[in-house]
Amino acid sequence: MSRLDTLAVHAGRRPDGDTGAILTPIHQVTTYAQDEIGGPPAPHTYSRASNPTVAALEERLAALEGGAGAVCFASGMAALDAVLRRLASGEHVVVGDTVYGGTVRLLREILSRHGVLFSFADASRPDAICAAITPQTRLVLVESPANPTLKLADISGIARVCREADVPLAVDNTFLTPHGQRALELGADLAIHSTTKHLEGHNATIGGAVVVRDAEDWLSWLRLARKSAGTNLAPFEAWLTLRGTKTLAVRLERHAQSALALACRLEATSGVARVLYPGLPSHPQHALAKRQQRHGGSVIAFELAGGKEAARRFVKALRLVTLAESLGAVESLVTHPATMTHAAYSPGERAALGVTDGLLRLSVGLEDVEDLWEDVRRGLVAARGVEACA
C-alpha cells in the first residue's frame, strides 16, 4: 500500500478500538488518564503536547511526503515559525528571493528582534544559494513554486549545495503538495505545508505541518517548540484535514487540468501582458517544472496591461470567482498580491520580483472550466476599458 493515492485514503487510519468506526474519532479532550506516578510514558498526556486525532493526521502526512515523521501546528505560519526558531541569535538563514509576504514579515518584524540573521538569494540558481551561505548559516528556506509569481527553485540542485555545506534545506511545498512535487525525494530535509490550502481543500480550517525526511533531532525540536508555545492543531481541524486529504489526488488532478486550460486561454488574450504558469511551455522554467513536478498546480499568475486600475476593474466584474486571500480550495479565488499577500514587501522590492500592481493570482477551483472562463473573460472585458482610456 505504498502508492500516494492509496496512502491519501488509508495512511493513519485504523478502525476505532472501542466502536469499530472506520473514521478516526475526533478526540476532543484536554487530558488523559495515567496509570501510576512515575510509570511508563503514556502515548498521550495532555493535548497541547499530542492528541490521537492530530497524531493520525501526522502519520498520514508523513506517509504522503515519504518522511520519517510529521508535526502539525495551528497554522502554516506557526509551522514555519517553529522551524525558524531553532536558529539562535547570530545564526543565519538563506531565504529564496520570492516567498510569501508573511514569511518576510516574520523574519523582519519578529525574529530579527531576537538576533536571527537572514538574507535573500535567487532560488532558481543553486550557485546563488551557495554564494549566500555563510559560516553562520543554519538553514536554507525556499518556496517552489514561489508565491505569487510561481518562480521555481531547483530543489535537487539546492539540496546538493546544502549537503556540501552541511546546512539543512526546508522547502515550502504548499502550492503543489506531495501529489504534485516530492520535495523530500528531491533532497529537501523538511517539507513545510499550510494544510489550510490543498491538503484540507475546502476553506474550512487553518493549519500547518512540517514533515521531516530522516532527522530525529528535528522532530524532537518541532514537538518541543509546539508544546512550549502552545501552537498545536485542534482535533476538529485535524479531523477535517484527514477527511480532505482523502480526495487530494482527484482534486489536484482536476485543479491542474483546469488551470492549464485557463492559462492557455489567458496567454492568447489581448490585454494580458504576461501569464506565469509552470505547465505552460512559455514559462521560463518549464523544463525544470517537467523534471521536478507532476503537474503545473492550481495557481496562475497573470499581469494585466492596464496596471492596478485594470486589476480593480477585473475583480469588480467577477461573478463566480471571489476576491480573497488563500488558495487551493474547491472555490476559485483571485488575489491582488501587491495590496494583499505581499504588502509586507516595499514597492521597490515588489517591482524587482515582478509583483506589479497589475499582477493577479488566480487559484483555480473545481467549478466547470467553461463557467470559470466566462467569468474570467467578463473581468478581462471590464479591464480593457483602462487601455482604451490610456
Report pLDDT digits (tens) over 292-350: 999 999 999 999 999 999 999 999 999 999 999 999 999 999 999 999 988 878 888 88
Of the candidates 52, 69, 329, 24, the residue with the CA atom closest to the CA atom of residue 199: 329
pTM for the model stands at 0.94
User: Among 86, 100, 213, 226, which one carries the catalytic annotation?
Assistant: 100
| 163-171 mean pLDDT | 98
Of residues 197, 251, 254, 294, which has the active-site annotation? Answer: 197
Does the annotation count 46 as an active-site position? Answer: no
Confidence of residue 16 (pLDDT cuts 50, 70, 90): low
Q: Which of 81, 172, 189, 357 is catalytic?
A: 172
Q: Is 172 a catalytic residue?
A: yes
CATH fourth-level superfamily of 248-389: Aspartate Aminotransferase, domain 1 (3.90.1150.10)
> Catalytic site residue 48?
yes
Q: What is the pLDDT of residue 215?
A: 81
As assigned by CATH, the class of the 4-85+132-140+160-245 domain is alpha beta
Which pLDDT value is given to residue 369?
98
Residue range(s) in the chain whose domain bears CATH number 3.90.1150.10: 248-389
Checking if the pLDDT of 389 tops 50, the result is: no
For the chain, the straight-line distance linking the first and the last C-alpha, in angstroms and rounded, comes to 60
- Contacts of residue 105, Cβ cutoff 8 Å, sequence gap at least 6: 344
Among all chains, which residue has been given the C-alpha cell 489526488? 249
From the list 13, 48, 377, 378, the catalytic residue is 48
Residues of the chain with CATH 3.40.640.10: 4-85+132-140+160-245
